[in-house]
Structure 1
């Protein structure tokens, strides 16, 4: 009876962790790109087409599976009320994923419960759960594959889940490949069901892109590579890595090129991993999988100059897992180790993320969303176009047809980039003549032909300034807003001819 009761502790931890993290819904911190996926889902609802602007097909979202999930949540709850249920759903799935991970690595129910809660309140876990991206579903699917496919030996899981994982994000081929290699080297055999699942997953993803969109990879990948791709010297590669690894490898995004906290944590993670894998236990089989994947994903994405921090959330967590396991399994002074970890790392990380979420939520929800709401009221004709960057909050809340600077939601920009990358912005404006321009810069500055063109054809309609959104009746919130102001100043222009 006691054992049965103890075995429920991890389930209680899941429920408590989800409930605790739902407090972050109050911050209204939702990632910009989530609104791209949700608009694609609503476009599918309204036009029956996976696109962004009416009946034009385009893979504007990085994730196909999450588009369909978002579509069903819109269908069930309606466009006005689907966001909170979907965020709760993401949080539940992610936390169940941590439950599966705890079963793979730990035996003591109490240790599992502590593991679930502590990993669940780290910054990447909070962002995965609450920011509206697809990683809650992805983490659940990946941990389900390890737990049911490789721990329980369910062959149907090995066959089906790789396809779902890859249909969520095509770059998960890294995770699936690492799992395959570790499993083959550890067990000295090949799981052909899993091989078939991987091959089927690749074919399904590529075939869907090809037959539906007429492209092999998602448009988002093509667009980012086209605009951001450039040749680097070896020294530039080194400089870029030094400037980026602290922000994207660790859990803190701090200004500057050097982040000593990240280096200390990385070394400790590596030492804990080496300590744990000294014996050939089944637990270590999964530790090898998640740790190698964490390093591989980080190295590959940083080397490819991937600036978006959500790419790093899952590996950040998985690389930290050996630290939690090491501390929880200490037989001498375990409580001392655990107290030090909580006081000097986990609680500061939680405090940092809380401040970050409040400040960024203000900048996104109260500021950037306000621009979209203004346009929604000002412009009643939703067939009018706006040219801007990024394509999340403002297009979603304005309802206007959208051209984004990167070409994620409209391929016409890519055509202009190929013609003349240096002048693609002004060339897009001249050829497409969008009614609205939303720019970080003052387009009237300068005496060149471009500024003359803007002065001739566009009128400044409204200025949006971050400083105007740093006030609150709550003095603590106001201090946080001013401590970490979030957002960018914008100028909104309207065409006059």
Structure 2
């Protein structure tokens, strides 16, 4: 009896062990650029009482409302200088708790659940969701809580409350909620009215909040990206972009500029495992259909909209891999051989890849891009001065300067310039707004607008990624040079 109870506790032990294991990645300082946008919005709320980015101007600069409030709370409790590590641990714990609930839905053996939690938790998207600082940790927890408490345990409170929280985390989760509704309707042959109520309340709540607080229906971030990135590509250009981002969609490796055939093998194996599992009549089939159909649907929708940001695909990537883990873990014959093959030829290589990626990217963003913000913070004491740049994460956060970003995520005025004259919106914004600082990928003193820039700005400092590829640790230095992460910048200051 005591041994059985120990086995029952194994999934909980697996949660703790997995979280502790993934916390090692905090040493890489790999934090997503967009996390600092959300955190600055949270600090703006703390300082000005306004959800915004630049002082008391309201703007939905972050893609997530709920995570802004969570970040605000962590800033309030731990302070601006000490909240990052606690919130990253919190995100990792929430995500792993979500994987615990998922394991309860799809597996009955506690040992199988424990193995699933750990292997699922160390896949590259799982690591990124946990420690990169974005809202997907809390989102995954809420979505799995909905499936577990609402549709496995039949808790009506979960069916009403959780859709509201999910939609407040990201408005595009309407895709997930819609797929859940359709699959549940097909399996149960009846409408779950509590869930319908939850969905209606969720939509009314988030859309009303957007309208009455920001005077918009959808988040500004969505509008800004559509405005800036809307391009009429040829068929050939669309195909090139598709190949460049292919690893985002069905795999876990993104190799820019190349077609990764390994991804096709993984995709086919995922599909075969899914077909194998659903052939058996089982109560979990409904949930397998939910996660598999949702993952494919979200990817197809976002691909069709040319959404090439890799974080949009983290949750679909890991959910598509769930049938593979179930198939291997539940093997009755040569189980350990299957498990060994999976770990040796997939899990460990993926973990190694993510480790190298996190070390290199952490260097390029934390050591390099953050350093630009720190330089500006020390150089410019007047935090009411403006800087025009892209992207709006590290540099604005650590400089404290008011910010105009090229895309318009944190400043709506530049969107009007993009709509008016997209080819010249950058220089038009500079002439109209006259920001004190410009941070550019290119040399502004060369090109058609060089005369204007030379007459009004001077080069303050050059930032070069090659200057940050050295380390006293020779192994780290090899990783930095193997996968250099970062872009050269020129920093200009206004003279007239």
Q: The residue matched to 2:423 in structure 1 has which SS?
A: coil
> Equivalent residue of 2:275, what SS?
helix
Which residue is equivalent to 1:456?
455
Provide the TM-score with structure 2 as the length reference: 0.99
Instruction: Please identify, of 222-231 and 140-149, the stretch whose mean Cα deviation from structure 2 is larger.
Output: 222-231
Q: Distance in 1 between matches of 2:238 and 2:198?
A: 36
Q: 1:298 and 2:287 equivalent?
A: no
Take 1:29 and 1:236, find their aligned partners in 2: how far apart are those partners? 31
For residue 437 of structure 1, give the secondary structure of its aligned residue in structure 2: strand
Partner of 2:481: 482
In the other structure, the counterpart of 1:42 is 43
- Provide Cα deviations, 1:466-485, integer angstroms capped at 9, x if missing partner: 00001111110011011111
Partner Cα distance (1:391, 1:434) in 2: 15
Q: Which residue of 1 aligns with 2:214?
A: 213
Aligned residue number for residue 288 of structure 1:
289
Q: Which moved more, 1:377-386 or 1:246-255?
A: 246-255
Question: Could you list the per-position Cα deviations for residues 267-315 of structure 1 after superposition, in whole angstroms to 9, with x for gaps in the alignment?
Answer: 0000000000002211111101001111111111111111111000000
Distance across 1 between alignment mates of 2:407 and 2:236: 27
User: Is the 1:416–1:427 contact (alpha carbons within 8 Å) kept by the matching residues of 2?
Assistant: yes
Partner residue, 1:252: 253
Name the structure 2 match of 1:370: 371
The reply to whether residue 445 of structure 1 matches residue 455 of structure 2 is no
For 1:469, the equivalent position in structure 2 comes to 468
| Residue in structure 1 matched with residue 329 of structure 2 by the alignment | 328
Corresponding residue number in structure 1 for 2:266:
265
CA drift at 1:257: 3.4
Name 2:79's counterpart in structure 1. Answer: 78
Query: Contact 1:39–1:396 at 8 Å: present in 2 too?
Result: yes
Give unpaired runs (5+ residues) of structure 1.
Answer: none
Equivalent residues of 1:73, 1:86 under 8 A apart: yes
Structure 1 residues 107-153: Cα deviation after superposition (integer angstroms, max 9, x where no partner): 11111000000010000000000000000000000000000000000
1:204-239 deviation digits (Å, cap 9, x = unpaired): 110000000000000000000011112345554444
Shift of 1:253: 1.0
2:30 is matched with 29
Helix, strand or coil for the counterpart of 1:332? coil
Residue matched to 2:490 = 491
Cα distance change, pair 441–234 in 1 and its aligned pair in 2 (3 A)? closer
Partner Cα separation in structure 1 for residue 477 and residue 377 of structure 2: 28
| Aligned equivalent of 2:191 | 190
> 1:381 maps to what in 2?
382
Deviations along 1:326-372, whole A, 9 cap, x unmatched?
00111000000000000000000000000000000000000000000
Partner of 1:68: 69
1:87 aligns to what? 88
Q: Is the 8 A contact 1:372 1:396 kept in 2?
A: yes
Cα distance in 1 between the residues matched to 2:274 and 2:48: 50
The answer to which of 59-68 and 293-302 deviates more is: 293-302
More displaced stretch, 245-254 vs 202-211: 245-254
Find the residue that maps to 1:280 and give its secondary structure.
coil
SS of the equivalent of 2:144 reads: helix
Q: Distance in 2 between matches of 1:11 and 1:95?
A: 10
- Give distance in 2, aligned partners of 1:209 and 1:136: 23
Q: Secondary structure at the residue paired with 1:387?
A: strand
Distance, in Å, in 1 between the alignment partners of 2:310 and 2:18 is: 23
Q: Deviations over 1:430-472 (max 9, x none)?
A: 00000000000000013x3x10000000000000000000111
Q: Is the 8 A contact 1:41 1:71 kept in 2?
A: yes
Q: SS state of the match for residue 490, structure 2?
A: strand
Call closer, same or farther: CA 1:234–1:467 in 2, change over 3 Å: closer
8 Å contact kept, 2:246–2:254: no
- 8 A Cα contact 1:246 1:253, kept in partner: yes
TM-score (norm 1): 0.98
**Mean Cα deviation higher: 279-288 or 387-396:** 279-288
Contact 2:295–2:319 at 8 Å: present in 1 too?
yes
Deviations 1:53-74 (A, max 9, x none): 0000000000000000000000
2:13 alignment counterpart: 12
- 2:144 aligns with 143
Find out whether 1:412 has 2:413 as its counterpart: yes
CA–CA separation in structure 2 for the residues paired with 1:206 and 1:238: 35
CA RMSD of the aligned region, Å? 0.9
Counterpart of 2:392? 391
Three-state SS of the structure 1 residue aligned to 2:388 is strand
Aligned length: 495
Contact 1:273 1:323 in 2 (8 A): yes
Within 2, Cα distance between the matches of 1:284 and 1:466?
A: 49
The farther-off stretch of 65-74 and 278-287 is 278-287
Residue 62 of structure 1 aligns to a residue whose secondary structure is coil
TM-superposition CA deviations, 1:180-204 (whole Å, max 9, x none)? 0000000101100001101111111
Shift of 1:250: 1.0
- 2-structure distance, mates of 1:34, 1:41: 11
Q: Secondary structure at the match of 1:422?
A: helix
